[in-house]
Chain A
Amino acid sequence: MIDFRRRPCVITHNPRKEVLIKTVDLCKVYSSGHEQFLAAKSINLEVYQGDFTVIMGSSGSGKSTLLYLLSGLDGITSGEVMFKGERIDAYTEKELTDFRSNKIGYVYQSINLVPDFTLLENVAFPGYVAGRSKSEVNEQALSLLHQMGIGAQAGRLPSQVSGGQQQRAAIARALINSPEVIFVDEPTGALSQEQGAVILDLLTEMNQNNQSIVMVTHDIQAACRADRLSVVKDGTIDGILELGKYAPDQLKARENQIFMFMSGEER
């Protein structure tokens, strides 16, 4: 039976790897009207370089919130967020924009391509923002789109392609500036089983090429791709599972392992 008793938070430092992102007592309060809602409660978490980190949790548990905070897309209420030892929560607007432009890529839960840009323009745009040469960026954007299997749709507007194709374009966009880490929020949520698998394979392949990835999901199948799994519950880290590198033949075993972990039997 699934045990939802609250467990003390565990920080397992792994000396083999370099710490990419680290949070200390990170809190986030949402206020709507007169109500206040504590969506992240004193979170202490480490994300390692080269890892495929997965954040799991049920709907409304605070996964997206955490991802926004880790990526510097939203302001924190208290605590610290460090990227390679630098406090990004203390960044000035200029430092923050540089950070967003060069260090990270973000794939939203709701995809969010610019509706008036073609897929190619959407993918290339962060490259322009980073001040890179136009032709180089365009070339790379096109090759990324091909890599994602949507090169043929490069000239279309987002409204003219399918949800899965949009999702792939969004990932390509996140990759254009070769960021140190990409954040992916629920990439398979709106997709069919097969489409979801394609995306996950893409991400896995990227990770094997040493791309750090932080992915949010509530889908166990997706979570199987993780090197390391953090479970979020009610705005806190409820547990961390080290899995090691994924290989396709381990899928079933991992699924079981994660299921057990989630049910609290392995901890």
Chain B
Amino acid sequence: MVSGLINENPTVYERKERRVRTDSSNTDEFTVEPIDQLEIFDILFCSICTYSIVDIRDPEHPYSLEQLKVLTEDSVEVDDGKSYVRVTFTPTVEHCSMATIIGLSVRVKLMRSLPPRYKIDIRVAPGSHATEAAQS
């Protein structure tokens, strides 16, 4: 077990205002709306659950993954037509021991929220983590 904090002085960002979806002109309740980047991010930010992935507090600091920019909207690449989503997260330090847990939590959250046809790829942002290959 590592004694002492892994990242003593993390860079903390402003919590972004959630982008509100504007009313679409299509009010047909049977229309299938393709899943897009915002929806994936909302899944990760879901406030209906008792906790949301990006609100996970780093045990060392009272900041969430969103505030530490570990996960942002741009972290998400989605192609509904191909049933494919890729989430790339950026640990704050190179040898973050939480990286495997974060990766698994994101994967499980998406697997439970998305239709079974989806292929899910979770990646650590290139160059940001020592055990990058082990995460995928």
Q: Are A and B genuine complex partners?
A: no
Using CB atoms and an 8 Å cutoff, list the residues of chain A in contact with chain B: none
Using CB atoms and an 8 Å cutoff, list the residues of chain B in contact with chain A: none
